Each structure stands twice: as C-alpha cells, then as structure tokens.
C-alpha cells in the first residue's frame, strides 16, 4: 500500500497475526496504534518511511 495517501490503518488489521512484511511507504500515516503493532507477532519487516509518523510503538 505504498504511495496511496493512506492516513490510518484499519483496526481490524489486528486479525493479521501472521503478517510478516508491511510496506506503507509514502503515505500520510500519523500513527501506528499499539494494538496493531502488538498483534503482528510475526512481523519482521516494516517500511513506514516517508509518512508523518512522530514515533512507532515498540
């Protein structure tokens, strides 16, 4: 979902527990919720560059 002017990710993405890679480069994201990040236990690669994020949850 790169370069699509996305401003937020849907909360139902918590159901994507087997997600391993996510590329949201070049959008307009301002935050990634703690719930989403915590649910992606298999995530090994995240590209969120060129967004409006001030921080990313650990």
How would residue 37 be classed by pLDDT, with cut points 50, 70 and 90? Answer: very high
pLDDT at 56 over 90: no
CA dihedral 11, 46, 53, 12 (to 10 degrees): 0
pLDDT beyond 80 at 5: yes
In this predicted structure, the answer to whether residue 57 has a pLDDT above a threshold of 90 is no
Q: How many domains does the chain have?
A: 1
Residue 26: give the domain boundaries.
1-58
How far lies 51's CA from each of 5, 20, 41, 58, in Å?
9, 20, 23, 18
Residue % of the chain over a pLDDT of 90:
84
Distance CA 1, CA 8 (A): 12
54 sits in the region (left: phi over 0; alpha: psi -120 to 50; else beta) called: alpha
Q: Is the pLDDT of residue 38 over 90?
A: yes
Any idea how long the chain is? 58
């Amino acid at each position: 979902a790169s370069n699509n002017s996305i401003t937020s990710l849907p909360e139902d993405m918590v159901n994507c527990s087997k997600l391993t890679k996510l590329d949201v480069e070049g959008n307009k994201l301002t935050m990634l919720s703690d719930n989403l990040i915590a649910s992606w236990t298999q995530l090994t690669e995240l590209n969120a560059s060129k967004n409006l994020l001030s921080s990313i949850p650990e």
